[in-house]
Structure 1
Amino acid sequence: MVWSTSQLAELAGTTVNTVRHYHALGLLAEPERRANGYKSYGVQHLVRVLQVRRLSELGVPLSKVPDAVAGGDQRELLRELHSELETSIRHLERIRDEVGSLMAHGAPLDTPSGFEGIADGMTPTDRTLASIFGQVYDDPAMQDIRAMFEDGQARFAELDATFEALTVDASEEARSAVVQQMLPALRENLERYPWLLTEPRTRQTPPLAQSALIESMRALYNDAQLEVLLRALAQVRSEIDAHDDGKT
């Protein structure tokens, strides 16, 4: 009994394209052809396709299939596969937990990992910044940043709303008022987390991290908001420097 390509594919539980792909990779020998020119597959071809499929299902790369079938060091290959699967399982478990947390808190899909519990009080800009921060800062720093976001929601909600509402054509009086409103929160954060000014805790090199932060702020905030941020930061820096000078 001989089979056509489509019949072989059906018997093996795969597709004609997969059979052709195995041929192209040299994993399946070309069969003889019938008088009418059609391929004629036999049991040896079915067994080979089933072997390749089984190894592929176990995670063996197709490039390693010939050695595995030929009797190479299968124990070492199995150890490699087991290690890769363990890594994949841990990754999937983490993703499962994060998806569950997003569902539990009703958080938007773009909420950064670890921020699901406070996502309800975060604006789209907050979420974007937190995502960028997650790529710039290391894990301990991100724990502090999350605490700052959470504390800001609890104690500085009015400031956040005022800052978000600041338009590019805001008057000097409005800008100065926001600066004054921002100073207590900024002083407190810099006192609690002095590394923000003195100890860059970044994943990338300082120049790359700095450029990412600066360009992100420019893209996410308008000119009035940026000016307010810079003025408030400059004032607090000046106070810190004056305080340090007084100690010497």
Structure 2
Amino acid sequence: MTASGWSTAEVARLAGVSVRTVRYYHEVGILENPRRLSNGYKSYDVTHLIRLLRVRRLTGIGLTLEQVRALDSRAVDVDDVVHSLEDEISARIAELRTILQSLRSVVTGEIRGGLPPGIDLSGIGARITKRDEATLTVLDTLLPEQQRAGLRQWLTTSCDSAADDEFEALAEDAGEDYRGELAKRMLPAARAAARNRQKKQQSGPGSPRDIGIALNGIYHSAQIDVLIRVATLLEDETEESQSDR
């Protein structure tokens, strides 16, 4: 401190703010300009320091500069400001809880097998294979939401665990008859998943080509053939059901 007062850098340091903040407070009128010395330099006194400390304290607990200005002019009631802050803080706490819940889901899924968020396998009887995990991870991004829900339901529905195991171990040269029989045994899980789908279709970020490339990288040709057969059987059932109405 000089005999005549503080410089901008000095008063900013004492108040615990940046020089840019001091200059901004001048621009928006929240801090009065100091007097200037004969050499043109600004000279801040203790009233400026007190003002900076007050503004810093009030903004630190959540007030905006407009609210600080309103309090200065007595344009608002202190209790109203406190209640407003309480509402904002409560909303922020709820938001942080949601973020924390999502964080737990993401981290838990990644640790337990690289699964996307929102997929909880606890208490599910179905066994999720590495291919299932890969499918969920990729298609959970490429498909529209209602189809993603159906996919999760299908892969986590335990209708015939033996069929799931056989599909996982299916040889690439498996015969046509065996593929058809396996598709029929896998149909109940697909049917259960279909019940949860919404009728209105939405577009997802992935095109059919993108999805095809992804599946070809996860399953071999015989497995893809079985999946196509399951989808065809399910579609035939749906059309037959609609025609009977």
Shorter-chain TM-score range: 0.5 to 0.7
Distance 2:193 2:178 in 1: 24
Distance 2:176 2:32 in 1: 76
Counterpart of 1:150 in structure 2 is 156
Check if 1:159 corresponds to 2:160: no
Unaligned 5+ runs, structure 1: 201-205
Retained in 1: the 8 A contact 2:167–2:182?
A: yes
TM-score using structure 2 length: 0.67
**Residues 57 and 4 of structure 1: CA distance in aligned 2, closer, same or farther (over 3 Å):** same
Retained in 1: the 8 A contact 2:102–2:117?
A: no
Counterpart residue identity of residue 237, structure 2? E
Please report how far the alpha carbon of residue 67 of structure 1 lies from its aligned counterpart in structure 2 after TM superposition.
1.6
The structure 1 residue matched to 2:29, chosen from 26, 29, 51, is 26
Give the stretch that moved more between structures: 66-75 or 181-190. Answer: 181-190
Counterpart of 1:65 in structure 2 is 68
Please list, as runs of the form range in 1=range in 2, the aligned pairs for 1:116-135 lying within 5 A after superposition. 123-130=133-140
TM-score using structure 1 length: 0.67
**Residues 53 and 99 of structure 1: CA distance in aligned 2, closer, same or farther (over 3 Å):** same
Distance 2:176 2:7 in 1: 78
**Residues 157 and 227 of structure 1: CA distance in aligned 2, closer, same or farther (over 3 Å):** closer
**Residues 237 and 147 of structure 1: CA distance in aligned 2, closer, same or farther (over 3 Å):** closer
Deviations 1:57-99 (A, max 9, x none): 1222334332233223233332222112112112223333444
Give the stretch that moved more between structures: 120-129 or 69-78. Answer: 120-129
**Residues 88 and 222 of structure 1: CA distance in aligned 2, closer, same or farther (over 3 Å):** same
Please report how far the alpha carbon of residue 232 of structure 1 lies from its aligned counterpart in structure 2 after TM superposition.
3.0
Counterpart residue identity of residue 120, structure 2? F
Q: Which has the larger radius of gyration?
A: 2
Please report how far the alpha carbon of residue 33 of structure 1 lies from its aligned counterpart in structure 2 after TM superposition.
1.6
Please report how far the alpha carbon of residue 146 of structure 1 lies from its aligned counterpart in structure 2 after TM superposition.
4.6
Check if 1:89 corresponds to 2:89: no
Counterpart of 1:238 in structure 2 is 236
Retained in 2: the 8 A contact 1:107–1:120?
A: no
Counterpart of 1:203 in structure 2 is none
**Residues 147 and 240 of structure 1: CA distance in aligned 2, closer, same or farther (over 3 Å):** closer
Distance 1:34 1:210 in 2: 67
* Alpha-carbon RMSD: 4.2
| Equivalenced residues, count | 228
Please list, as runs of the form range in 1=range in 2, the aligned pairs for 1:1-248 lying within 5 A after superposition. 2-73=5-76, 74-100=78-104, 106-107=111-112, 111-115=116-120, 123-130=133-140, 136-137=145-146, 142=149, 146-151=152-157, 155=161, 156=164, 159=167, 181-191=182-192, 193-196=194-197, 199-200=198-199, 206=200, 209-212=202-205, 217=211, 220-222=214-216, 229-242=227-240
SS of equivalent to 1:65: helix
**% identical aligned pairs:** 24
